[in-house]
């Protein structure tokens, strides 16, 4: 699928870029990258490049934090039983692991609960509240869920069970009647940073407890390996406070990870410097697999484990579960592609909604993402669970799929999520009507350009600008993620020196140069782009979009270009 190249550099103020160059004594490439990230003043730039713990906000600025901490203190002092409750995905299980591990050092009357994806579904469940009631828990701390669970909280109140909700999703019109609700997205919450993950909210809770009780706050920082894992998995912006948490979280993972994370890294032979990409594509799918295929509580069991041998055994089990998940993912994706190809009006639709009674609920979100990669339309994949159709939605760039689903709420039993991803449940007899209405909503609200995948290129550069000083500073832009993506560069009229060849299944290995500076050459690799080899063999000039990466081979470090896209010059 052809992609539109959008060069962000063209929208930048040239005078502002020159000013940054003068302040920092850097080249135009670095200055442009900073300008694109709205880092224009020296102090902001300094904080960006030099994260420090003192950049974290006071947790008591968050609405409800005083009430939450006072209620926890009371529960511990009066020997009440506390239940730590969280969703079954990475954000939920890491959040539960943080809060449970911290508070079990302050009370023995504590346990955790992860709802069953299939029997209970997302978020707080009546079954979970019944479990708490039957086992004499009088306080539930809910993490990464609960902001719209008004009926569940009312049910808990009837049973004399108090709730503290720690969530980061958008609230509804009515806030649940809990003892305390921690969610920076509440309209009247003055907390300065609104984009914490669910585990990030859990971290602020234990930080506040430590401050209130004059404990060593450094103990809280030991949980940042879990916080950064949630930040990576939940695709929250890695800016502001998240950047600080991610920076020190990666430092923790690379120097002294907890046994569960260490075991997963070792099993998957990740022994070099761990980055956000490793967390997104290696660690997170395995933690997620527990909740997708079996029980999310297995992920918590791994992450709270303090014994390395036991952690290795737990990690092996989760690795095996992830292998099952990949097999299900492949089979379901193949079926979904066939359904699309057999539908004669697929190409005329602006949305995709597929339903099969036989698909595994744990992989429908992954399959939705695969469909977007091929067809690039707002996509929903549904399967049957407990006699109803249930599934996941994923969106294309800049299109609010949650809002589109909300406009179809008359056909739904429940739904939740955010702009780019959501979950929903409806009666099976409403599936066809939903498909029709969703297509109508999307057709009327999506712009044609939103249906064309875009590559956001930071800046066009010449090879001679890729110098050691620029590369040293470029490394300091990490950790990367939403709103601070790995910089993408564009270079025009590049040629191969004559060594272009296909490696692996269909990857293109190159040695590139530009005629303006033929002695400046860079090794490059273009994954799944072997079909382009003929152009390089024919000495056809090409334009490329690429990332710059350090490559280590036999102890020698070199600069390598990772090509994301290319086209004829």
CATH topology (fold) of 343-451: Diaminopimelate Epimerase; Chain A, domain 1 (3.10.310)
Using the structure block, give the residue that is written with the tokens 């560069």: 489
Which of 22 and 418 is assigned the larger pLDDT? 22
Task: Give the DSSP H/E element, type plus range, for residue 59.
Answer: none
**Confidence (pLDDT) at 418:** 75
What is the sign, positive or negative, of the torsion defined by CA atoms of 357, 358, 360, 364? Answer: negative
Is 399 in contact with 377 (CB distance < 8 Å)?
A: no
Average pLDDT along the chain? 94
Rounded to two decimals, the pTM is: 0.91
Q: How far apart are CA 289 and CA 347, in angstroms?
A: 33
Structure tokens at 324: 């099952």
Torsion, Cα 144 147 150 154, to 10 degrees, reads: 60
The closest alpha carbon to 366, from 322, 332, 400, 324, belongs to 332
Burial of 399 by CB count in 10 Å (0-12 exposed, 13-18 middle, 19+ buried)? buried
- pLDDT tier at 325 (50, 70, 90 boundaries)? confident
* Residue partners of 243: CB distance under 8 A and separation at least 6: 48, 51, 479, 484
CA-to-CA separations, 569 to 66, 379, 494, 544, in angstroms, rounded: 61, 34, 8, 9
Q: How far apart are CA 416 and CA 369, in angstroms?
A: 18
The closest alpha carbon to 37, from 458, 489, 476, belongs to 458
**Torsion angles phi and psi, residue 316, rounded to 5:** -60, -40
Q: What is the pLDDT of residues 255-312, one digit of tens each?
A: 999 999 999 999 888 767 899 999 998 899 899 888 777 778 999 999 999 999 999 9
For strands 556-568 and 517-526, give the pairing: parallel
Structure tokens at 495: 């040629």
For residue 330, whether the previous peptide bond is cis, meaning omega lies within 30 degrees of 0, is no
Q: What is the pLDDT of residues 6-31, one digit of tens each?
A: 999 998 999 999 999 998 999 999 99
Is the predicted pLDDT of residue 519 greater than 80, yes or no? yes
**Confidence (pLDDT) at 271:** 67
The closest alpha carbon to 113, from 259, 302, 386, 300, belongs to 300
Give the other-Cβ count within 10 Å of 512's Cβ: 23
Q: How far apart are CA 422 and CA 415, in angstroms?
A: 7
Question: What ranges do the domains of the chain cover?
Answer: 4-11+455-568, 59-319, 343-451
| Residue-wise burial string across 408-432, b where 16 or more C-beta atoms lie within 10 A, e elsewhere | beebbeebbbbebbbbbbbeeebbe
Is the predicted pLDDT of residue 35 greater than 90, yes or no? yes
Burial of 138 by CB count in 10 Å (0-12 exposed, 13-18 middle, 19+ buried)? middle
Using the structure block, give the residue that is written with the tokens 């430590």: 210
* pLDDT over 90 percentage in the chain: 83
- Taking residues 322-343, what's their average pLDDT? 90
Instruction: Please compute Rg for the chain using Cα positions.
Output: 25
- pLDDT tier at 386 (50, 70, 90 boundaries)? confident
Q: What is the CATH number of domain 59-319?
A: 3.90.1640.30
**Confidence (pLDDT) at 509:** 96
- Taking residues 345-356, what's their average pLDDT? 93
The closest alpha carbon to 284, from 271, 222, 270, belongs to 270
Q: How far apart are CA 25 and CA 484, in angstroms?
A: 22
- Taking residues 488-499, what's their average pLDDT? 96
Is 23 in contact with 42 (CB distance < 8 Å)?
A: yes
Q: What is the pLDDT of residues 79-103, one digit of tens each?
A: 999 999 999 999 999 999 999 999 9
**Confidence (pLDDT) at 552:** 76
The closest alpha carbon to 168, from 113, 248, 217, 241, belongs to 241
The closest alpha carbon to 360, from 388, 386, 325, belongs to 325
User: Is-same-fold flag (4-11+455-568; 59-319)?
Assistant: no
**Mapping DSSP to helix (H, G, I), strand (E, B) and coil, where does residue 558 land?**
strand
* Residue partners of 373: CB distance under 8 A and separation at least 6: none
Q: How far apart are CA 37 and CA 561, in angstroms?
A: 23
Identify the bridge partners of residue 475 per DSSP, sorted by sequence position.
Answer: none
CATH C-level class of 4-11+455-568:
mainly beta
* Residue partners of 364: CB distance under 8 A and separation at least 6: 332, 381, 382, 383, 391, 392
The closest alpha carbon to 14, from 459, 465, 454, belongs to 459
- pLDDT tier at 421 (50, 70, 90 boundaries)? confident
- Alpha-carbon 491 to chain mean position: 29
- pLDDT tier at 378 (50, 70, 90 boundaries)? very high
**Confidence (pLDDT) at 273:** 86
Using the structure block, give the residue that is written with the tokens 């000039």: 541
CA-to-CA separations, 486 to 107, 275, 279, 473, in angstroms, rounded: 43, 12, 15, 13
């Amino acid at each position: 699928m052809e992609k539109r190249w959008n060069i962000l550099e063209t929208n930048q103020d040239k005078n502002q870029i020159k000013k940054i160059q003068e302040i920092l004594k850097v080249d135009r490439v670095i200055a442009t990258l900073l300008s694109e990230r709205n880092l224009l003043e020296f102090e902001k730039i300094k904080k960006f490049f030099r994260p420090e713990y003192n950049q974290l906000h006071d947790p008591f600025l968050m609405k409800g934090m005083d009430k939450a901490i006072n209620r926890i203190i009371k529960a511990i002092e009066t020997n009440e039983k506390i239940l730590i409750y969280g969703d079954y995905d990475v954000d939920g299980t890491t959040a539960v692991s943080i809060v449970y591990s911290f508070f079990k050092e302050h009370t023995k009357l504590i346990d955790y609960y992860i709802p069953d994806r299939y029997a209970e579904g997302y978020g707080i469940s009546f079954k979970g509240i019944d479990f708490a009631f039957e086992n004499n828990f009088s306080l539930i701390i809910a993490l990464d869920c609960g902001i719209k669970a008004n009926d569940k909280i009312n049910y808990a109140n009837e049973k004399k069970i108090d709730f503290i909700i720690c969530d980061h999703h958008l609230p509804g019109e009515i806030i649940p009647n809990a003892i305390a609700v921690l969610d920076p997205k509440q309209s009247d919450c003055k907390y300065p940073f609104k984009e914490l993950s669910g585990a990030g909210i859990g971290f602020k809770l234990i930080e506040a407890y430590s401050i209130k009780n004059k404990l060593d706050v450094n103990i809280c920082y030991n949980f940042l390996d879990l916080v950064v894992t949630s930040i990576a998995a939940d695709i929250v912006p890695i800016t502001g406070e998240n950047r600080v948490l991610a920076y020190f979280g990666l430092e923790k993972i690379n120097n002294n990870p907890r046994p569960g994370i260490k075991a997963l890294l070792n099993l998957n032979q990740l022994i070099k410097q761990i980055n956000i990409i490793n967390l997104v594509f290696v660690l997170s799918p395995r933690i997620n697999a527990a909740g997708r295929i079996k029980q999310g509580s297995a992920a918590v069991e791994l992450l709270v484990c303090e014994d390395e041998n036991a952690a290795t055994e737990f990690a092996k089990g989760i690795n095996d579960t992830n292998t099952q998940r990949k097999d299900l993912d492949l089979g379901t994706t193949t079926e979904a592609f066939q359904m699309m190809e057999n539908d004669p009006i697929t190409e005329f639709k602006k949305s995709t909604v597929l339903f099969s009674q036989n698909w595994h609920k744990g992989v429908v979100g992954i399959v939705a993402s695969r469909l977007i990669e091929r067809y690039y339309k707002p996509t929903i994949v549904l399967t049957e669970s407990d006699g109803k159709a249930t599934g996941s939605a994923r969106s294309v760039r800049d299109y609010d799929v949650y809002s589109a689903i909300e406009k179809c709420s008359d056909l739904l039993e429940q739904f939740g999520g955010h702009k780019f991803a959501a979950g929903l449940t409806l009666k099976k007899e409403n599936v066809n009507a939903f498909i029709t209405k969703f297509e109508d909503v999307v057709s009327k609200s999506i712009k044609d350009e939103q249906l064309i995948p875009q590559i956001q290129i930071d800046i066009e550069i010449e090879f001679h600008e890729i110098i050691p000083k620029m590369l040293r500073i470029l490394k300091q832009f990490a950790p990367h993620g939403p709103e601070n993506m790995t910089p993408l560069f564009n270079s025009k009229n590049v040629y191969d020196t004559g060594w272009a060849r296909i490696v692996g299944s269909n990857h293109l290995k190159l040695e590139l140069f530009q005629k303006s500076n033929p002695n400046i050459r860079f090794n490059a690799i273009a994954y799944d782009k072997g079909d382009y080899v003929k152009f390089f063999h024919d000495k056809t000039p090409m334009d490329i979009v690429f990332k710059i990466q350090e490559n280590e081979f036999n102890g020698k470090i070199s600069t390598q270009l990772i090509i994301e896209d290319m086209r004829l010059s």
